[in-house]
Structure formats: structure tokens, C-alpha cells
């Protein structure tokens, strides 16, 4: 009986099949490894923030405007509690996100704006948080400027430092324009450098110069731009899972857990996000004043600033 010899074409097919199966196995194992790593890091982030005490925050947001349903406005407040039960909001921003264009418009409100606070007499804007928390800040800004606010996010400065160190463990690149040290807890020298979370916060809070609070707000906006660049850096994507886990404990919000993670990762992975910045009050729309029991304030032309805000976020205000 004649012995059958396998032809070369058949042997090559088998060899290719084994090679393809080998590579598929390697790819599968890599995917499994990434999933396991992400879960472990996400859990590590959750555990890191698990010691933070969560107090109930009363907040009722405005419904989305059917005519501008793609625009979502988020009130972002930064506070420095330092162990105090009540504190004033040190940072007040409105983040207006156009979900259709991936455009993010950030409005910074000066904390010394002389504002009519609902249910109280007129005070500085940042006093609203001391008097009535997130809801009263929302009500004050909404009633003063006619802008709808749909959600909120609240972060303590100590937690901000930790989040920065998680997502950018090698620091955030910032060009420090002058020597800074007074009342910020760190000493910064001029020049381009990598700032840690504590140093970045100190840079953003510095106001002991001729620019005062206006300079500080400008630096806060500069910090946001620097953080965006750092988060979008390909070298930092490995830290996203831990960051997503930690943000749930360190940032208070009316978003659900799923929404928080989805929105954070959506913005983080969208390299096309464009950030525009505005400061209220705008130029030539304010004077400085002083009132008994209140101190030095910024008296603003509400209508002029309301118009500037409307044009900036691309929505008609009430």
C-alpha cells in the first residue's frame, strides 16, 4: 500500500492556524489582564476615598431646556473646610457642557461679587454657601443671572490635592509667573515646573499681589487647562481607573455613580474637547465698593454680565 505524504500547502495552512491561535490567545490574555488591572485600580481608588465622610447635600436642579437640551450646566464649588462645619466657597464655577459639539465653557464667578442672596440681605457671593450650602449658591446665581443650573459638583481642597496626585503622579506642568508663598502653604519659584497636587492648589489660590482675586481666578482657569492637558496625556491613561474610583468618594455630586464615571471618562477620552473661559464680572462692568458688615465688594452691572454670560454659553437666559 502506498504511503500518503502530506502536501506542503496543507502543512502551511496548519502552521498558520496554530500561529493565529497563539496570537489570539496572547491578545485574549492581554485584554483579561487590562480588565483585571482596571478593576483592581478602580477598587483602590474607591478604598482610598472610603474614609471621607459623606453628608447629605440638598440640591434641586433646574430641568433641561427642551430648546437647548444639548447644553448641561454644572455648578462646581471648591471649599476649604479645615475641619469647620460651615465654610465659604472659595471657588465658584459654572461648567457649561455642549454635548453635541464637545465644547466646554467655564465661567468663573468672583467670590466678592455683591449679590442679593434669596432669603437674606445682600452679601458677598461666596457667603451664600456659608448660609445655605450648595442649594443657596445655585439659587443666588440662577436668580441673579437667569442661568439654569442642572447639576452640581462639590470638592474639598484636600481631596483636590489627592485627585491631582492620582491622575498626574509626576506632577502637572505649569509656568509659575512669580514667586509665591504667602498664605498658600507652599513656596513656589518662577519658571516652568511640575507641580504636585498641594503645589498646584497653592498656585491656584495665591492672591497676595496687585491683581488680587482677579489674578487668582485667572490662575484657576490656567490650572484647569493644565490639568486637561495632563489628563489627556497618553502616559497617564493607566491612572484613569483609580481616578474614576477615587472621584466618587472625593467629589460630592447629584449624579449617580454610573453617571459620574461615564462623564469623567467620556471627557477624559475625548481629546477634541475645547475649553473656553470667562470671568464674571467682565471688563468695564463693575466698580469696587464697601458696605458695613460686609466689607470690600465688587459692585457689578448685572444686565451687562448677564448678556455676556448668555453669549458665552450660547443659550438665552431667563
DSSP SS3 for 133: helix
151 neighbors 72 (Cβ within 8 angstroms): yes
Average pLDDT over residues 132-155: 95
The answer on pLDDT for 43 being more than 60 is: yes
Closest CA to 303 of 276, 289, 275, 282: 282
Average pLDDT over residues 43-47: 68
What pLDDT band is residue 230 in, cutting at 50, 70 and 90?
A: confident
The answer on pLDDT for 224 being more than 60 is: yes
What pLDDT band is residue 65 in, cutting at 50, 70 and 90?
A: confident
- Sequence-distant (6+) residues with CB within 8 A of 196 are 161, 164, 165, 171
Phi/psi at 223 (5° precision): -65, -40
Whole-angstrom CA distances from 187 to 125, 138, 153, 164 are: 29, 34, 29, 18
Q: Give pLDDT tens digits for 67-122.
A: 778 889 999 999 887 655 566 788 999 999 888 887 889 999 999 999 999 999 99
The answer on pLDDT for 135 being more than 50 is: yes
pLDDT value of residue 37: 60
pLDDT value of residue 139: 97
Share of the chain above pLDDT 70, in %: 76
The Cα–Cα gap between 211 and 163 comes to: 28
| pLDDT top residue among 108 and 34 | 108
Q: Walk me through the domains of the chain, giving residue ranges and CATH numbers.
A: 66-313 (3.40.630.190)
| pLDDT top residue among 226 and 240 | 226
Q: Enter the DSSP assignment of 182.
A: T
Q: Enter the DSSP assignment of 236.
A: G
Q: Give pLDDT tens digits for 6-32.
A: 566 665 665 655 666 766 777 766 667
Residue 312, number of CB atoms within 10 A of its CB: 18
Beta strands in the chain (DSSP E): 71-79, 89-98, 103-109, 114-116, 122-124, 151-156, 172-176, 191-195, 251-253, 274-280, 286-291, 295-300
The answer on pLDDT for 315 being more than 90 is: no
Q: Give pLDDT tens digits for 146-184.
A: 999 999 999 888 889 999 999 899 999 999 999 999 989
Report residue 2 as a C-alpha cell: 502506498
The Cα–Cα gap between 112 and 44 comes to: 39
The answer on pLDDT for 260 being more than 70 is: no
pLDDT value of residue 1: 47
Mean pLDDT for the chain overall: 84
pLDDT value of residue 241: 84
Amino acid at each position: 500500500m502506498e504511503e500518503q505524504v502530506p502536501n506542503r500547502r496543507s502543512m502551511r495552512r496548519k502552521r498558520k492556524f496554530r500561529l493565529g491561535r497563539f496570537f489570539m490567545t496572547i491578545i485574549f490574555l492581554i485584554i483579561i489582564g487590562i480588565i483585571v488591572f482596571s478593576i483592581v485600580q478602580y477598587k483602590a481608588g474607591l478604598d482610598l476615598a472610603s474614609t471621607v465622610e459623606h453628608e447629605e447635600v440638598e440640591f434641586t436642579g433646574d430641568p433641561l431646556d427642551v430648546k437647548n437640551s444639548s447644553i448641561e450646566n454644572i455648578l462646581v464649588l471648591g471649599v476649604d473646610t479645615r475641619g469647620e462645619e460651615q465654610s465659604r466657597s472659595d471657588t465658584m464655577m459654572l461648567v457649561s457642557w455642549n454635548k453635541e459639539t464637545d465644547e466646554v465653557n467655564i465661567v468663573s464667578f468672583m467670590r466678592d461679587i455683591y449679590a442679593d442672596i434669596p432669603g437674606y440681605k445682600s452679601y458677598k457671593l461666596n457667603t451664600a454657601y456659608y448660609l445655605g450650602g450648595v442649594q443657596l449658591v445655585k439659587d443666588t446665581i440662577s436668580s441673579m443671572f437667569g442661568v439654569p443650573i442642572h447639576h452640581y459638583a462639590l470638592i474639598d481642597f484636600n481631596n483636590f490635592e489627592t485627585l491631582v496626585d492620582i491622575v498626574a503622579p509626576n506632577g502637572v506642568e505649569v509656568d509659575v509667573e512669580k514667586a509665591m508663598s504667602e498664605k498658600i502653604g507652599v513656596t513656589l519659584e518662577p519658571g516652568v515646573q511640575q507641580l504636585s497636587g498641594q503645589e498646584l492648589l497653592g498656585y491656584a489660590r495665591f492672591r497676595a499681589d496687585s491683581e488680587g482675586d482677579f489674578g487668582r481666578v485667572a490662575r484657576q482657569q490656567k490650572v484647569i487647562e493644565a490639568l486637561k492637558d495632563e489628563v489627556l496625556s497618553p502616559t497617564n491613561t493607566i491612572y484613569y481607573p483609580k481616578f474614576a474610583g477615587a472621584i466618587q468618594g472625593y467629589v460630592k455630586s447629584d449624579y449617580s455613580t454610573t453617571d459620574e464615571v461615564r462623564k469623567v471618562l467620556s471627557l477624559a477620552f475625548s481629546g477634541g474637547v475645547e475649553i473656553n473661559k470667562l470671568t464674571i464680572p467682565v471688563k468695564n462692568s463693575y466698580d469696587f465698593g464697601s458696605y458695613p458688615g460686609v466689607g470690600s465688594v465688587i459692585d457689578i452691572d448685572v444686565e451687562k454680565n448677564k448678556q455676556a454670560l448668555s453669549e458665552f454659553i450660547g443659550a438665552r437666559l431667563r
